[in-house]
Amino acid sequence: MRLNQKFYQKDAVQTAKDLLGKIIVRKYYGKTIKVKIVETEAYCGAEDKASHAYNNKKTKRTAPMFKEGGHSYIYLIYGMYYCFNVVTASENNPHAVLIRAVEPLTGIKQIKENRQIKSSRTEDLTNGPGKLSQALKINKSLDGCSLVENSSLYIIDGSAENFEINSSPRVNIDYAEEYKDKKWRFFIKNNKYISKS
């Protein structure tokens, strides 16, 4: 079942943990790809120095972060990769969860078409934020859309499997001073699709 509005109305840290094990559904040209979320990072409100929305900085790029929980926030990084975030909490309270890695479930043929990599390892297809966006054909046209209403990108419940959640400091945010050591990166323990050990 699709996750409802209420699921996203929590702070980013709580939602980041709750999103582990959930399924992202991506549809285009009549094709469907499903992947399981195995790694996330929380970016938490105006106080978080690692966040693009630190100090309530609202710009053209960060505007979706100020929407109500349940919208997407997608931006271009390093001129070549997109990062996919899920906006959480309430309107004008800029929380977001970066999806860092997923495990392919269905549509692996489509994913391989989108990725075009030399490596034959399935693990290399989606084990990083830029990789999974490429794999799912996620781009600016989906920026700011509602994951509760949109029919080509949304998130559903996972299976009732049990797993253990690990946490660690977030990746590549050395500039964030006292916030860089916060353990706001969450991942499923022992899953081989996470981006780094």
Binding site for DNA (CB under 7 A): 41, 43, 50-53, 57, 59-62, 65, 73, 75-81, 83, 85, 96, 98, 115, 117-119, 124, 128-132, 171-173, 175, 195
Shortest reach from residue 49's CB to DNA, in Å: 10
Q: 140 or 157, CB closer to DNA?
A: 140
Strands of 6-123 (E only): list them: 23-28, 31-44, 72-77, 81-88, 95-106
Q: 30 or 79, CB closer to DNA?
A: 79
Cβ atoms 166, 39 nearer than 8 A:
no
Buried b (16+ CB within 10 A) or exposed e, 83-107: bbbbbbbeeebbbbbbbbbbbbeeb
Q: 43 or 154, CB closer to DNA?
A: 43
Distance CA 153, CA 139 (A): 11
Shortest reach from residue 101's CB to DNA, in Å: 8
If residue 168 lies in a helix (H) or strand (E), which one and from where to where? strand 165-168
Shortest reach from residue 124's CB to DNA, in Å: 6
Q: 55 or 157, CB closer to DNA?
A: 55
